[in-house]
Amino acid sequence: MTKKRVTLADVAQLAGLSSAAASMILTGRQDTRLSADAYARVHAAAQKLGYRPNVAARALRTDKTRTIAFISDYVTTTRFASGLIRGAIDETEAADHVLLMLETGGDPEREAQAIEAALDRQVDGIIFAAMRAREVYVPDVPASTRVVMLNGTNVRFPTAILPDELAGGRAAIELLVAAGHSEGIALIGYSEIAERGRMRSETVTRRVNGIQQAMADANLTFAAEESAWDWEPQAGFELVGKVLKQTDLKALVCMNDRLAFGAYQALAAIGRNIPGDVSLVSFDNDEISAYLRPGLTTIELPYYQMGREAVRRLLSSEESGEILIPMPVVQRGSVRGSSG
């Protein structure tokens, strides 16, 4: 049953040419001086036999595999950032390449192994993706291998794709200001302690900077700020409780949608209406933000675009520094006066 694969030699033979000639024709080289007839015959033969090049053989000669390695810490595990993968896959396919997926759990030893595995397979480039945008440790890679950092940074590899968190942070506050809020504004989730230590996330820092800039620009201050290590619904629920003791809450900024989810539950439990009594803005555009009632107004983390851009940069040969991808404002119904 196992039909032998059609080789270039088969095509050449059918076309009555040498395999070298067939190779030149099929790889579409222009500078060659073969007859137009030869071109036609080779293409016809390849078509007829269903010829497909053997990537391994080609790689042996050319060191090109049309394969990209996608090495991440927790991206597949977390499912939250699957847009990163989706974007990378779509763009990879559009460029007629293929993606090798490796996961490391953030463990340096597994990171090293993943890179070895990728290099053993002669990948054309490596995308190093991080779940939390941060300075990422990356093991040694031959200078000839292109590397793009995705949602993370590394001094040795300047090309990095990041969300434009500064503008995103500003946008969240501007939404509230535009809706007329000026008092009883609270922020939940940001943890200064975490941001000073090893857990420091570059993008969260920028987001908070954007938030603070916009507050200052509007001459506003937070009536309450409560922080948490884990940005899960449970924490959101509890933090809102603390906030309510400090101020007559009118508007709440949540560092992510899962915190916001918990905030919805806490507000519902005491009969506060969203957005009638309290406006809410958040970050991520997680799936749940569309499920909530009313829909959650949120600043989207543009994972899909980031994934695409990473592949695009990897395949284009020019070095570039940080690429900031805009964070879209997704208006739903959780901010007073905004429709949704």
Applying CB under 7 A, the residues found at the interface with DNA are 4-5, 7-9, 16-24, 26-27, 29, 32-35, 38, 53-54, 57-58, 60-62
27 binds, among DNA, its own copies, none (CB under 5 to 8 A by kind): DNA
In the window 109-148, what residues touch its own copies (CB under 8 A)? 110, 116-122, 142-144
The residue with tokens 């790889």 is 27
Q: Closest CB to its own copies among 60 and 216?
A: 60
200 binds, among its own copies, DNA, none (CB under 5 to 8 A by kind): none
In the window 288-327, what residues touch its own copies (CB under 8 A)? 288, 291, 293
154-160, long-range: CB within 8 Å, 24+ apart, which pairs? 154/128, 157/128, 158/319, 158/320, 158/321, 158/322, 159/313, 159/319, 159/320, 159/321, 159/323, 160/321, 160/322, 160/323
Q: Closest CB to its own copies among 83 and 169?
A: 83
Phi-psi region of 8 (alpha: psi -120 to 50; beta: other; left: phi over 0): alpha
Segments of the chain assigned E as strands:
67-72, 98-103, 125-129, 146-150, 160-163, 185-189, 224-227, 251-254, 279-284, 297-300, 322-325, 329-330
Residues 329, 170 contacting (CB under 8 angstroms): no
Among 18, 32, 47, 54, which residue interacts with its own copies (rule: CB under 8 A)?
54
Residues 281, 297 contacting (CB under 8 angstroms): yes
How many CB atoms sit inside 10 A of residue 177's CB? 17
Least distance from C-beta 18 to DNA, angstroms?
Answer: 3
331 binds, among DNA, its own copies, none (CB under 5 to 8 A by kind): none
Convert residues 238-277 into a mask of x (bound to its own copies by CB under 8 A) and - (unbound).
--------------------x--xx--x--x---------
Site residues, its own copies (CB under 8 A): 1-3, 5, 52-57, 59-60, 65, 67, 70, 76-77, 79-80, 82-83, 85-86, 89-90, 93, 98-103, 110, 116-122, 142-144, 232-233, 237, 258, 261-262, 265, 268, 287-288, 291, 293
